[in-house]
Structure 1
Amino acid sequence: MLSGRSMARSRPGRSPKRRVPKFLLFLGFLAVLALALVIVLVVVLLQPGPGRVPKGPTTSPPTSRPMAQPADCPDVLTLVVPGTWESSADDDPLNPTANPKSLMLKVSGPLRERFSGARTEVYTVPYTAQFRNPTNLTDRQMDYNASRKQGYQRAAAKMAKTNRACPLTGYMLMGFSQGAVIVGDLAQSIADGRGPIADTDQDLILGVGLIADGRRQSGKQHDVGPSPSGVGAEVSLGGFGSMVPGITMTGGRGGFGALEDRVYSICASGDLICDAPTVTNPVKAISQLSGALNSPVHAMYGTTRYWSAGGVSATRWMYGWAVTRIDGAPSPEHY
């Protein structure tokens, strides 16, 4: 006979309980914990929050121009850079007297007489304007590189200062010979975004006038006819670079970019400064170019003897062109 305890163990419909191993419980706990962490991480990442703080902008944000500018600001700054031996470092930019025969005075003088100072400030950049001949040991002038650099820096500084104080002022840029090289380089720097005014202010450049530009390349600007097909002396000698101390031939500019439609160049056929032949001896050529600065062809753009358009001289043409540009320039509000 079975005992009561044995009968209880053998009752039908009931099975003994099975214990779950501890390591399986532990694995399940880890799985639940991992799932919870994933859910929390996703929720946090999807929540809006402050973005990353940048280290700093790589470029300055564009700013809009004001509606008016100070009362002493001219509508237009006419920046004039004389040629070699036609200026001095301490000349008066508003009343230049260093060389009364300076070619650019035939342009700047009449402009000053025609327009009030409120309409245009005519500023003649004062710089040493020399060209030392390295083949002449007694020549104590400033070398070309230093002279050109000084002229460029002073022209750029005047533009930058005006642009900061007078953000609505437009610009007429004009130069002759070494001054034309300086003005052309300034225009190229502005077009390339490296100039004294911001990229967004390129429209303020009303016109760029070059007479006998030593870096001239035919077809890279408006060539005012009659115009030779030759190139400037620095282009012709560009392959020699800085072989001659103090006189670095920088070659051509390659164009004026967005300003090309506003750049006008005048060159007389046979002027070795802007219509140079191909050379093989740089030292000899530099000596010839030094002499070419005094040649009649280079020195007489104020007459119709070697260059004329419609019966007017280069300086008279430049004056008329500048008048048209200044007349057509905007008239900003002042306060």
Structure 2
Amino acid sequence: MTASRVLTAAVLATFAGSLCTPGTVAAQPSPAGPSCPALWVLGVQGTSESSPGASATTDTGMLGHLLGPVSAVAPNLLARTYIQYPASFGGAPGTGAGTDPYTVSANTGLNALLAASEDIATSCPATSQAVVGYSQGAQVASGFAQIVGAGGGPVAPERVAAVALYSDPDRAPGSPVIAGRPGQLTPDPAPGTAGAAVSQIALSTAVASGGGIATTSGVDFGALTGRVADICVEGDLSCAAPDRAVLLRVAAQLAAQADLRDPIAAINSVQGLLSGALGDAWTTVVLNDFQIGPGSVAYVPAASLAQRLTDAADSRTPAPGPNETSAAEARWAQITATVAANPLTTLPSLAGSLSAAWGQLVTDNADLIDPSVWLRYSDIPARHTGYAVNGQLASGVAWLTALAHDLAGSQS
């Protein structure tokens, strides 16, 4: 299989694979007990598993296998709400009825999650919250945790007892199970509790290699560090993509913004996005990575070409504005004029620097052509959709249940 075919298959498998989740869990009744329970859990489903009109309390999809059992065990201690959002992927075949690009869908989900959290914080200020997300929903939940952890969310960090991320595309490379806490297996207790029940929990999932397909550096959960679990299994390309596979991440970022409803629309959409990303990357390189002196030009990169490409393809990175584009054009004219005027002194060192940068870019994609690496991804759909059947959700059930008991005990 050629590298391009591997890349295409990998990207589609990563994002479309969430459709193959285990069967629907039998619907649970709405939570019983007081209107303001000890713990309120917000669930964000994966691609195709939700919609703007989805039920907020019916246990379907991947997270139904998590929240259904928790609700059955502790019905009087917690409530659950599934976030209604498109959960779409550009209308690609097999990804549900929604046509919004992945990035638009995820942003809609984040806004819906923030709004739901704010409603709970307003109506039940003494209730602690937990957030769980799977795949696209994990990226939404991760965004929520970053905002709240930085003190900018609708709920105070001390009111968020837990965040559980399953198959998070934003997972930091080599992230431990408790994000930011290498070697720690027991989550920190909910603020305001002694954590007696939580102290008996161990999230013993093995640490997967690589990192999320949507990031090269991961994220910071701030004040929530210690209460965020990043669950990922080896071979799940969404959260454990190879380290040296920049073009895979660039392709994934572009696909996440594309119109994929049919082959023609997909080709045109991706072509336009790729052209824009390359132009944005070049503008950034010209403005930041070349130094011009009297009769000299040097390429001294503040970031690698791989990072420039990845950032430019990421919809979360602001694109250069007209002023920056004009400045880059003027600067490039200055660079070419300087080189033309002093070719013997400028070209050798400049060529050497650019050659080294290109060589590094090749190295940064070495995993794409390494057969031994791709053996880890021989069964991507099963790895991506197996969190219920392989027992990964069981520890989440135990964790949320323990939190509910600890929180209820602290209120008695």
TM bucket by the smaller chain? Answer: 0.5 to 0.7
Distance in 2 separating the partners of 1:286 and 1:168: 39
Q: Deviations over 1:256-300 (max 9, x none)?
A: 11211111111011111001122226565569999x997111011
Whole-Å separation in 1 of the counterparts to 2:54 and 2:157: 29
- Which residue identity lines up with residue 74 of structure 1 in the other structure? P
Contact kept? 2:90, 2:99, Cα under 8 Å: yes
2:157 pairs with 1:202: yes
Aligned residue identity for 2:382: P
Are 2:235 and 2:380, in contact at CA under 8 Å, matched by a contact in 1?
no
Distance 1:124 1:281, change over 3 A: closer
Computing the radius of gyration from Cα coordinates, the structure with the larger value is 1
1:107 and 1:222 map into 2 onto residues whose CA distance is 24
Q: Which amino acid aligns with 2:62?
A: L
- Does the 8 Å contact 2:167/2:232 carry over to 1? yes
Post-superposition offset of 1:322: 1.2
Output the CA distance in 2 between the equivalents of 1:300 and 1:185. 24
Confirm whether residue 88 of structure 1 aligns to residue 68 of structure 2.
Answer: no
Question: What residue number does 1:177 align with?
Answer: 135
**Residue 39 of structure 2 is aligned with which of 76, 83, 96?**
76
Correspondent of 1:299 among 385, 393, 396: 385
Partner of 2:313: none
Give the structure 2 partner of residue 280 of structure 1: 247
- Could you tell me whether the CA contact under 8 Å between 1:75 and 1:332 is conserved in 2? no
Unaligned runs of 5+ in 2: 1-33, 183-202, 259-376
Q: If the length of structure 2 is used for normalisation, what is the TM-score? A: 0.51
Return closer, same or farther for 1:283/1:72 CA change in 2, 3 Å cut-off. closer
2:139 and 2:388 mapped to 1: Cα distance? 19
For residues 162-203 of structure 1, give each alpha carbon's deviation from its aligned partner in whole angstroms, at most 9, with x where no partner exists: 111111000111111011111111011001111112xxx321
Determine if contact 2:44/2:137 at 8 Å carries over to the other structure. Answer: yes
- The TM-score with structure 1 as length reference comes to 0.62
Q: Is the 1:222–1:263 contact (alpha carbons within 8 Å) kept by the matching residues of 2?
A: no
162 and 318 in structure 1: CA distance in 2 versus 1, 3 angstrom threshold? same
**Counterpart of 2:70?**
111
**Partner Cα separation in structure 2 for residue 196 and residue 216 of structure 1:** 23
Q: Tell me the equivalent position of 1:262.
A: 227
Q: SS at the partner of 2:139?
A: helix
Quick one: distance in 2 between partners of 1:232 and 1:283? Answer: 12
Give the SS at the match of 1:303: coil
Counterparts of 1:153-232 in structure 2, within 5 Å, are 153-197=111-155, 201-217=156-172, 218-219=175-176, 220-221=179-180, 224=203, 225-232=205-212
Matches for 1:124-135 after TM superposition, within 5 Å = 124-132=82-90
Cα distance change of structure 1 residues 280 and 191 upon mapping to structure 2, 3 Å threshold: same
Corresponding residue to 2:393 among 315, 323, 328 = 315
Q: 2:78 aligns with which of 100, 117, 120?
A: 120
The one-letter code sitting in structure 2 at the alignment partner of 1:83 is: G
Q: 1:221 Cα shift?
A: 3.4
| Contact 2:49–2:87 (Cα < 8 Å) also in 1 | yes
Quote the residue 2:191 is aligned against: none
What is the CA deviation profile of residues 53-77 of structure 1, one whole-angstrom value per residue up to 9, with x for unaligned ones?
Answer: xxxxxxxxxxxxxxxxxx6222211
2 CA distance for matches of 1:294 and 1:288? Answer: 18
Deviation of 1:252 after TM superposition, in Å, equals: 2.6
Task: Measure how far apart 1:130 and its partner are.
Answer: 0.9
Residues 95 and 282 of structure 1: CA distance in aligned 2, closer, same or farther (over 3 Å): closer
Contact persistence 1:206–1:329 (CA under 8 A): no
Give the deviation of 1:330 after TM superposition: 3.9
> Which secondary structure state, in structure 2, belongs to the residue aligned with residue 174 of structure 1?
strand
One-letter amino acid matched to 1:196: P
Q: C-alpha distance in 2, partners of 1:182/1:294?
A: 22
Shift of 1:331: 5.3
Matched residues in 1 for 2:83 and 2:392: separation? 20
Q: CA RMSD in A?
A: 3.2
Cα deviation 1:220-245 (Å, max 9, x = unaligned) = 43575311131101114xxxxxxxxx
Give the 3 Å change call, closer, same or farther, for CA 287–145 of structure 1 in structure 2: closer
% identical aligned pairs: 26
Cα distance in structure 1, aligned partners of 2:92 and 2:78: 40
The secondary structure found in structure 1 opposite 2:225 is helix
Shift in alpha-carbon separation, 1:288–1:127, aligned structure 2, 3 A: closer
Match of 1:324? 402
Hey, what does 2:300 align to over in structure 1? Answer: none
Structure 1 consecutive aligned stretches of length 4 or more whose deviation exceeds 3 Å:
133-136, 219-224, 281-290, 330-334
Kept after mapping to 2: 8 A contact 1:221/1:264: no
Contact 1:79 1:123 in 2 (8 A): yes
